[in-house]
Structure formats: structure tokens, C-alpha cells
Amino acid sequence: MDKPLPDDFDLSEHYGDASYDERYDDEDDEDQEREQKAANHRPKRPARNGAPEVSKSAHEKSSMLKALFEFFIPSLNQDPETKRRWRISIGFAVFCLSTATLHSYGVFAPFGFQGFANAASVKSVEDYILNKDLFDTRLLQCKALTPESRQFYAKRMQELTNKFLETKGLYPNLPTCAEVQ
């Protein structure tokens, strides 16, 4: 079918020498140089650390919990300076927490630092609110237009008066409707 070509078969006289052309050799070198320069001028990516290991076991501590645990209980083979710094920081944290707790209980009251909920201040706030409720209810009672609303506010006034009597031990000094308006 296909016959092999003879060894002396040459088409170069028709098509030229197509085996190797030195003209294109320089262009390949230039392309490679351009690619090399472009690669050198690209911004370098910073080196990234790998992601922290995620435990596949439900019983292993995660890396954050492990780091927190190591902060509060350092390993035994640390140098003395690191241990000293650790002891100072933990001691300072315990001192601050203890001082805040004692302050909230009012231990420093003799020195002028009251706790968060002083009984005398709470009592005065309750008295103020009760007096304000009594006055506001008297004002609404005096401005009421229908007998039902007057009766409702009178009942509310009686409740507040009883509460005032329980807390103070005396009847409140209520203004009259003429004084309110």
C-alpha cells in the first residue's frame, strides 16, 4: 500500500529547508526572558502557616482550649523568668477579681466606697417612686370625667395609701384636687 520513501527523496527544493530555522531561535529566548522578568516582578505571597489541627476525636481539647489551659497552668519545664511572669500576671488577676468582689459586697463602705446595692439608697428610691405614683394617681383622679374612672382611681389611691402606710408607718400627705390643678 504505502511505499517507503527513498533515502534520497528531498522536497527542500520546492519548500525550502524546514528541518531547522535559526530565525525563530532568538524569539524563544526573548519570550523566556520576558516570562522570567514577569515572574520576578510579581508580588510575593507572604508565607502562611497551616490551619490549626482540628481534632477528630470528641475527647480531645481544641487548640484554643489547650492554649487557654496552658496559660493558666504552665508546663513544668519552662524557664524561671517565664514562670515568674506567669505568677505575677495570675496574682494580679486574682487581686483585681477579689477587690471587685469585696467592693460589690460593700466591704469598703467605711472608706467611702459603697457597694453596688446599698440598702439606704434602695429604700430612698422606693420611697420616691411610691410618692410619685401617689401624686400621679391623684392628678389622674382629679382630671377623671366619668364616675367609673373616678372610682377606679380612688381604688388605686387606696391601694397606694395602704402600701405607703405599710412602708412608712404613717398616712401620706395627699394634695387636694384644687391644689393639683
In the 3-class helix/strand/coil scheme, how is 7-68 assigned residue by residue?
Answer: CCCCCHHHHCCCCCCHHHHHHHHHHHHHHHHHHHHCCCCCCCCCCCCCCCCCCCCCHHHHHH
> What is the residue extent of each domain of the chain?
80-117, 119-180
CA dihedral 70, 72, 77, 81 (to 10 degrees): 120
Which tens digit of pLDDT belongs to each residue from 5-40? 666 666 666 555 555 555 555 556 777 777 777 666
How much is the pLDDT for 172?
85
How much is the pLDDT for 152?
93
**Is residue 67 predicted with pLDDT exceeding 80?**
no
Which tens digit of pLDDT belongs to each residue from 81-139? 888 888 888 899 999 999 998 888 878 878 877 777 666 677 788 888 988 999 999 99
Query: Could you give the CA distance from residue 39 to residue 33 in angstroms, rounded to a whole number?
Result: 10
Q: Mean pLDDT over residues 165-177, rounded?
A: 84
Q: Convert 49-85 to b/e letters by CB count within 10 Å (16 or more is b).
A: eeeeeeeeeeeeeeeeeeeeeeeeeeeeeeeeeeeee
- Among 31, 51, 33, 49, CA closest to 41: 33
